[in-house]
Structure 1
């Protein structure tokens, strides 16, 4: 009997040793993907050595002889920490994700190939000025130096996927193309409206997107076949929060002049809002060259500073919300042609081959008209023809040169000259120099012959064509306002009667009103007060709604408890209180009830603006005119409160006083690929309880069906123009894109709690020193 047991022990010991060896081997491979510490590396084309120090937070400080050498260094650093993020960005924009992921990402690839982002970026590169191309070339050399040195050990993901291909300047332009596409989503709204016209009157459909301040009058006589095509197309387009998509975006920015700051110089704050992810969108850096400093948020894939200061000015961006996308209904004119004002024209036709991991190649035939790509072919070739015009697909996109000019600007006048060169996306550029503050709208806005872009328009007669662009001084701009302050949080940036039609659909002004209230509470603001404002969790929307909600007659005991809690609540979306959970659940149910009454799907309407419009759309003293509710909103509010409380009790127990907003409202940072892998998603994703919601300055936008925070400020910056080295920064979740590194998560808690750092010229502690030398030089 002893012999069998002895053999069993030997087998078990062998298996344990084998498992340990496998674990050690995998651990060794993963360890090999860490970027390491001190390093000397050669980069082709450097004019002089570049010195880089890394502080304990993983933030580099770069000292270079000129802008091109600095770009090469940033390319090297971006690749060192974020190469897989860059790989996914360029593949998503070029429609090449399925080559490494499989058929799951085919909808994204088919859309991007139809829009032709890579080909348009290649054409734009040719037209850029030499100095911009030189910087893009240098950046690519820096990225490729890291790729050449590390191969498949450049990031953990490449251990499985194989070494990345070399980086090109066109790849960098794809980042701007992506931002231009997703920061302007009107064409999707047009599709949603067109689909609803199958069964709802035009005035009801348009009312689901309440107008802020009034706009034009779109045509609404769409053929039934077209509305059906619109519905099918809207259903297949990738949408947030699916991987490789972005949400309807929003941001905060404000500034005061020296008369209203404690230092006597302007102050500026900005925090752009995008979808949360691991890694985040932004990478902090400081770059010093002779006579210039750049400090703030860089974007992996791009050599320029996107948000921050250059030692002379500071700037931030918010989304304008301008309508720069239109759908056109084209009329067939025989085989391979469509009608134009000049008669039949042939479609431009091309074929796209999409490589699909584990499946046959997907062959896509793309047609284009004079208006743009035919997007209806994604679902209904041979049916009604919908072509899309997008400003960021138009020729002559000089956004890279414009951002470079902004990086070099000495004052707000120079920043204003850079604004129109940032052709896409259309953004509000808030900028301050040492004396003044200003707001400029960047980019170019189409001038329409007729219509307001609310619905697909006829394409054959040219009656709704774009006939030119408005840019620069033709767009809203404010320099040195008499009020001494500037604010934008995505509300309408110009009055409804502004000479250039900017769009019909706007975000509500809840966050902007809160900023103005806080600015008005003090005559002398400081960096600290601005940083505190960025984490403010008071909801102006809730404060507007509470008087009406408190008049609801409760239908049951849980509703009575809820109303008693809301009766003593001030609208602060604090993580440690139950009221934010009750309020958000109630408003979600109320909005769903409005849509359900009309038979409208959850995503096919405005967000909380719809609920707010229903609460305010009634005659004084009664609700007889509350159109969204079909009359009196009281019963719908009563029923939706009961339904919300039933949901919350089922999820969190029957004691509402024990509920906590932060338990449900957690900011989630997930790896775009590993988020669905059972074991790895725990390693590659983190959550943290947060205050705020979709209406507060501490933005915590939520996906449908959950209270998880998936959208907000991954970057915050506060700039003191009296001493820009004192500026305050924070990103989330961390600096590194390697999910195994502590630096991938090192800013999460500080970000949540309002912590910040500064980026002075010299770090207090250096943990790594990188020395870049010209290729062939002696280190």
Structure 2
């Protein structure tokens, strides 16, 4: 009996193993795809990076769709489900908050409408890409990826699904609505002067403030905990709103006499990563760099004539409006009562009955307060990325085709969302343009909820040439790391809140060191882990008296520290733990939770300089001592009594985890990758932490583009090309990514380990 049971178990294991093995793509493959004009040849190099050779751009889009599906089909499935509000069909009630928000915002409904306004060539690219994805699905069925063995074959891909990627990025890279709701939650229980200094401000001329408004709304009973009902980073399927470094110099500052450009977008660290490297060769064009599974365009990279990259501008393109009820089913407008637009959404929930969600919209946008209390006060959100006629896809296509800095600028104007800083270089010149649309407000600065009576309505847009831009600056260089863009002669108001220039300050210091920069120099800069924030506030920390023995030893380690965040040092761990505790204590003393505060480094630097009187009563010593004591206590409990033996890399692990499977036993570890990582939130090589000081946000892709020889440009991404955890290319970039190593995407790889031929 036991023998037969054992044999049966072995057979089941073999069957399961065989099924999983069949989800891996073959090394040699030929596939027929309807609509191709000619055969497409694809070779995968030693890192699993495809080099696509196609006769036309449409054929290349089909091929890209096929290889994206080959390596990342389940990631693409989760992306479209997340944006469509259909995650709970797979994950059950745990993802209902995400589904409710996606349905309330109507991301898919708006993508369907946007498809109709895409130019014919953009629509053709989207359709060609979908044909490639669907060819993989039709050929592989439930073997398209390991996850589909249990879920069944994925539904066919559509052009609308590709537009959902842009909708998702537009939402998460513009997070002002959360900040508005937090300000409202603080109003009435925290002094307004404290609220005003929680977030740094831009230096542009700010329109009349709306500081008194939240108090008035508090009296109306507007829920002050709505912000906690809205999904927010680092929750799965969310992104941080501040991200990325970019710098570009012209030939006066390089060894070759041609421009150099560097860019590394900072996004959530997931498994698999958001980016997918590829090289695409056409008879009259070459594209190389970072693609995004689900999208038929190159998002970051270079063509034959230009190179480009993005950072987030941080523009305020979201406003919360408090509407006035006007009887059942209506609300008040300047033209009298108007009915809500009403949509009924049915959300399927795995293991539970369907949930029916009633979505209301006003003239400003979706009613987000219904997520908390449909019977309470009415809060509607206006978002630029939810506005009609979104042509971001057409803008990316135009950018892929651009042959000069000026043409890239015209493409930027077509990318309607999100608002990004586009740095670009051609063989002679450099430039910076802002993408997206920024609302012009009738009144107010957009920092807090405002009345929906028309007094604070959006009355127009800043876009294209109306936004800051520069071509061939006199300095010969452009730097941005999410700090405000300031161009002489353009005082466009982009929002009240801003981020401090910690990374930009360090980038400029390194650029100042030479006028003979090379691509390798820029790659080393991207891996730099010196913190200008630590350099600034260390004197304040070192001035705090220390009497307890272990605290004194820990503090002495900081005295000769060079402010580098290396994994083999104790100082970054001591510093970041101390600063984190100080941040919490300062806020707690005023009745503010950590999740209600502004950016930690920016706020701490302010408190230790201009904010001492307001936040510390003139002297922060007591709070700094208490924070140090708590930090050292926690570190001693975990790592022992010798501060010199503590190590940043022990704690600061870059975590690449699957957004759903990470929580499952056995499967979770197979879909999670971790590696000790240098840097912190203020270094060029960014490693923003969660509450446990794990690295969850950083440069998932780095590119350095040499306009003297674009084929020698340098790239790296994390964690690997494949989303299949059984693949050898699921994690093979991790160590190189951590250590600042790079690869090239020239026409000839070192070796070809797989080949694919697509035929009409």
Q: Shared fold by TM > 0.5?
A: yes
The separation in 1 between residues aligned to 2:79 and 2:223, in whole angstroms, is: 28
The separation in 1 between residues aligned to 2:489 and 2:188, in whole angstroms, is: 32
TM-score by length of 2: 0.98
Shift of 1:237: 1.2
Secondary structure of 1:231 counterpart: coil
Which residue is 1:652 aligned to? 639
The separation in 2 between residues aligned to 1:470 and 1:308, in whole angstroms, is: 27
1:163-204 residue CA offsets vs partner (Å, 9 max, x unmatched): 100000000000000000000000000001101113112222
The separation in 2 between residues aligned to 1:555 and 1:466, in whole angstroms, is: 57
1:232 correspondence with 2:225? yes
Which residue is 1:157 aligned to? 147
Shift of 1:497: 9.3
1:417-468 residue CA offsets vs partner (Å, 9 max, x unmatched): 00110000000000000000100011111000110010000111x1110000
After TM superposition, the structure 1 = structure 2 runs for residues 205-284 of structure 1, keeping only pairs within 5 Å, are 205-213=195-203, 215-216=206-207, 217-222=209-214, 223=216, 225=218, 229-284=222-277
Shift of 1:495: 6.7
Q: Are the counterparts in 2 of residues 195 and 228 from structure 1 also a CA contact under 8 Å?
A: no
Shift of 1:25: 1.3
From 39, 50, 57, the equivalent of 1:60 is 50
Secondary structure of 2:641 counterpart: coil
Structure 2 vs 1, CA of residues 490 and 525 (structure 1 numbering), >3 Å: closer, same or farther? same
1:735 correspondence with 2:728? no
Shift of 1:499: 3.0
Secondary structure of 2:744 counterpart: coil
Shift of 1:12: 3.1
The separation in 2 between residues aligned to 1:329 and 1:433, in whole angstroms, is: 47
After TM superposition, the structure 1 = structure 2 runs for residues 333-412 of structure 1, keeping only pairs within 5 Å, are 333-412=326-405
Which residue is 2:575 aligned to? 583
Structure 2 vs 1, CA of residues 148 and 204 (structure 1 numbering), >3 Å: closer, same or farther? same
After TM superposition, the structure 1 = structure 2 runs for residues 58-207 of structure 1, keeping only pairs within 5 Å, are 58-207=48-197
1:43 correspondence with 2:36? no
Which residue is 2:498 aligned to? 506
Q: Are the counterparts in 1 of residues 213 and 448 from structure 2 also a CA contact under 8 Å?
A: no
The separation in 2 between residues aligned to 1:555 and 1:588, in whole angstroms, is: 21
**Mean Cα deviation higher: 40-49 or 491-500:** 491-500
1:744 correspondence with 2:730? yes
Shift of 1:225: 4.8
From 528, 531, 548, the equivalent of 1:539 is 531
Which residue is 1:700 aligned to? 687
Q: Are the counterparts in 2 of residues 198 and 224 from structure 1 also a CA contact under 8 Å?
A: no
Secondary structure of 2:594 counterpart: coil
The separation in 2 between residues aligned to 1:478 and 1:554, in whole angstroms, is: 50
The separation in 2 between residues aligned to 1:389 and 1:532, in whole angstroms, is: 42
- Structure 2 runs not aligned, ≥5 long: none
Secondary structure of 1:486 counterpart: strand
Secondary structure of 2:252 counterpart: helix
The separation in 2 between residues aligned to 1:201 and 1:315, in whole angstroms, is: 44
Shift of 1:232: 2.7
1:689 correspondence with 2:679? no
Which residue is 2:292 aligned to? 299
Secondary structure of 1:152 counterpart: helix
Structure 2 vs 1, CA of residues 227 and 553 (structure 1 numbering), >3 Å: closer, same or farther? farther
Shift of 1:557: 1.6
Shift of 1:211: 2.0
After TM superposition, the structure 1 = structure 2 runs for residues 622-633 of structure 1, keeping only pairs within 5 Å, are 625-633=612-620
The separation in 1 between residues aligned to 2:360 and 2:663, in whole angstroms, is: 35
Which residue is 1:664 aligned to? 651
The separation in 1 between residues aligned to 2:325 and 2:563, in whole angstroms, is: 55
From 484, 499, 504, the equivalent of 1:492 is 484
Shift of 1:631: 2.8
The separation in 1 between residues aligned to 2:489 and 2:445, in whole angstroms, is: 13
Which residue is 1:5 aligned to? none
Secondary structure of 2:608 counterpart: helix
After TM superposition, the structure 1 = structure 2 runs for residues 20-35 of structure 1, keeping only pairs within 5 Å, are 20-35=10-25
Q: Are the counterparts in 2 of residues 684 and 740 from structure 1 also a CA contact under 8 Å?
A: no
TM-score by length of 1: 0.96
Which residue is 1:635 aligned to? 622
Q: Are the counterparts in 1 of residues 45 and 753 from structure 2 also a CA contact under 8 Å?
A: yes
1:759 correspondence with 2:745? yes
The separation in 2 between residues aligned to 1:754 and 1:34, in whole angstroms, is: 29
The separation in 1 between residues aligned to 2:692 and 2:170, in whole angstroms, is: 28
Shift of 1:18: 2.2
Q: Are the counterparts in 2 of residues 555 and 642 from structure 1 also a CA contact under 8 Å?
A: no
Q: Are the counterparts in 1 of residues 176 and 316 from structure 2 also a CA contact under 8 Å?
A: yes
Shift of 1:764: 2.3
- Structure 1 runs not aligned, ≥5 long: 1-10, 619-624, 775-779
Shift of 1:234: 1.1
Q: Are the counterparts in 2 of residues 735 and 743 from structure 1 also a CA contact under 8 Å?
A: yes
**Mean Cα deviation higher: 489-498 or 413-422:** 489-498
Structure 2 vs 1, CA of residues 766 and 278 (structure 1 numbering), >3 Å: closer, same or farther? same
Q: Are the counterparts in 1 of residues 200 and 499 from structure 2 also a CA contact under 8 Å?
A: no
The separation in 2 between residues aligned to 1:345 and 1:51, in whole angstroms, is: 58
The separation in 1 between residues aligned to 2:223 and 2:573, in whole angstroms, is: 35
Secondary structure of 2:98 counterpart: helix
Shift of 1:595: 1.0
Q: Are the counterparts in 2 of residues 403 and 422 from structure 1 also a CA contact under 8 Å?
A: yes
**Mean Cα deviation higher: 488-497 or 300-309:** 488-497
Q: Are the counterparts in 1 of residues 365 and 382 from structure 2 also a CA contact under 8 Å?
A: yes
1:597-621 residue CA offsets vs partner (Å, 9 max, x unmatched): 1111111111221111101115xxx
The separation in 1 between residues aligned to 2:684 and 2:185, in whole angstroms, is: 34
Q: Are the counterparts in 1 of residues 364 and 380 from structure 2 also a CA contact under 8 Å?
A: yes
Q: Are the counterparts in 1 of residues 469 and 487 from structure 2 also a CA contact under 8 Å?
A: no
Shift of 1:390: 0.3
The separation in 2 between residues aligned to 1:576 and 1:228, in whole angstroms, is: 52
1:457 correspondence with 2:457? no
Which residue is 2:597 aligned to? 605
The separation in 1 between residues aligned to 2:246 and 2:382, in whole angstroms, is: 29
1:126-174 residue CA offsets vs partner (Å, 9 max, x unmatched): 0010000000000000000000000010000001111100000000000
1:771 correspondence with 2:752? no
The separation in 1 between residues aligned to 2:380 and 2:604, in whole angstroms, is: 32
State the Cα RMSD in Å: 1.3
The separation in 1 between residues aligned to 2:577 and 2:382, in whole angstroms, is: 38
Q: Between Structure 1 and Structure 2, how many residues are aligned? A: 756
Structure 2 vs 1, CA of residues 659 and 99 (structure 1 numbering), >3 Å: closer, same or farther? same
Structure 2 vs 1, CA of residues 227 and 35 (structure 1 numbering), >3 Å: closer, same or farther? farther
Q: Are the counterparts in 1 of residues 441 and 458 from structure 2 also a CA contact under 8 Å?
A: yes
The separation in 2 between residues aligned to 1:668 and 1:545, in whole angstroms, is: 28
Shift of 1:683: 1.1
The separation in 2 between residues aligned to 1:447 and 1:125, in whole angstroms, is: 26
Q: Are the counterparts in 2 of residues 731 and 747 from structure 1 also a CA contact under 8 Å?
A: yes
Which residue is 1:8 aligned to? none
Q: Are the counterparts in 1 of residues 200 and 500 from structure 2 also a CA contact under 8 Å?
A: no
**Mean Cα deviation higher: 431-440 or 201-210:** 201-210
1:351-384 residue CA offsets vs partner (Å, 9 max, x unmatched): 1011111111110001100000000011111211
From 703, 708, 718, the equivalent of 1:722 is 708
The separation in 2 between residues aligned to 1:239 and 1:502, in whole angstroms, is: 22
Shift of 1:770: 0.7
Q: Are the counterparts in 2 of residues 229 and 379 from structure 1 also a CA contact under 8 Å?
A: no
1:635-663 residue CA offsets vs partner (Å, 9 max, x unmatched): 11111111111111111111110011001
1:244-268 residue CA offsets vs partner (Å, 9 max, x unmatched): 1112331000011011100110000
The separation in 1 between residues aligned to 2:259 and 2:489, in whole angstroms, is: 31
The separation in 2 between residues aligned to 1:212 and 1:708, in whole angstroms, is: 30
